């Protein structure tokens, strides 16, 4: 059993990709990352992006696609991702107006439809959570637990948001074994601000998470930092050094 590859979520480098998408990919590859998780393509064609990935020997780990696009334009989304060479789509965020008990039930129906269509097209589909999905519904179960019980979608567990919500990421990995192909690796400062931090510099038990990886069926570790105090490239360099 080989090592689990490490990618970076390009949302971390969103200001860099806006200025120079190809150049940012080159820097990611030079740091030693094996792949990337996309968060949009800045208007570039699938053919262009695939050529850059091939030249740089970077793999497309997955792609975050807004729920609204998945609900209204799924066929075109899948066609684009397949041209890039990507076979994994992730729903990244639920808009605030949909974060209600009724909204989650509508979401569950939508996720089931998207998942069914993705499977038909040879794609896998995951849901990425934040901390608000860990709040309890009237049933006593969290929204995330309800989503995972009432769908067959995979989940991209985010160890920062789980920790911030008072949850144990390793227990979630164990409970949803083989439904967690992607894990967002993030650290958190140990002060009251609980800000995003490079791996190994905060209080999240990243080591315990990584030790559980193979047992949980993790296919990719994805480094992400929503906001960086230092330069994002410096932060992801530190995170990769910690992993290695």
Task: Render pLDDT for 183-239 as a digit per residue (tens, 0 to 9).
Answer: 999 999 999 999 999 999 999 999 999 999 999 999 999 999 999 999 999 999 999
Indicate the SS3 state at residue 199.
Answer: coil
pLDDT at residue number 138? 97
Which residue reads 């919500």 in tokens?
Answer: 165
CA–CA gap between residue 218 and residue 122 (Å, rounded): 19
Mean residue pLDDT across the chain:
97
pLDDT in tens, 131-163: 999 999 999 999 999 999 999 999 999 999 999
* pLDDT tens track for 16-25: 999 999 999 9
Q: Is a pLDDT exceeding 80 seen at residue 2?
A: no
Query: Quick one: tokens of 14?
Result: 């969103």
Per-residue model confidence (pLDDT) at position 89: 98
pLDDT at 1: 52
Provide the whole-model pTM.
Answer: 0.96
With the CA atoms of 145, 150, 151 and 152 taken in that order, what torsion angle do they form, in degrees rounded to the nearest 10? 80
Sign of the Cα torsion 243, 130, 93, 112 reads positive
What is the spatial distance between Cα 214 and Cα 237, in angstroms, rounded to a whole number? 24
- Distance (Å, whole) CA 240 – CA 29: 12
């Amino acid at each position: 059993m080989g090592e689990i590859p490490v990618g970076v979520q390009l949302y971390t480098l969103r200001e860099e990709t806006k200025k120079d998408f190809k150049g940012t990919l080159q820097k990611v590859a030079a740091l030693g990352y094996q792949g990337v998780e996309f968060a949009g393509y800045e208007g570039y064609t699938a053919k262009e992006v695939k050529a850059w990935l091939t030249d740089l020997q970077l793999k497309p780990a997955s792609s975050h696609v807004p729920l609204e696009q998945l609900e209204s334009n799924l066929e075109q989304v899948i066609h684009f991702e397949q041209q890039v060479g990507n076979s994994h789509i992730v729903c990244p965020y639920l808009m605030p107006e949909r974060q209600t008990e009724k909204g989650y039930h509508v979401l569950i129906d939508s996720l089931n439809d998207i998942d069914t269509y993705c499977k038909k097209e040879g794609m896998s589909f995951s849901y990425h959570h934040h901390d608000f999905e860990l709040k309890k519904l009237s049933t006593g179960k969290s929204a995330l637990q309800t989503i995972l019980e009432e769908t067959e979608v995979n989940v991209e567990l985010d160890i920062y948001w789980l920790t911030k919500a008072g949850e144990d990421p390793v227990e979630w990995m164990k409970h949803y074994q083989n439904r967690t192909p992607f894990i967002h690796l993030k650290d958190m400062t140990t002060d009251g601000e609980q800000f995003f931090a490079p791996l190994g510099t905060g209080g999240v038990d990243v080591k315990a998470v990584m030790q559980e990886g193979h047992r949980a069926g993790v296919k990719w570790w994805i480094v992400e930092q929503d906001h960086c105090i230092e330069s994002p490239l410096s932060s992801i360099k530190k995170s990769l050094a910690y992993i290695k």
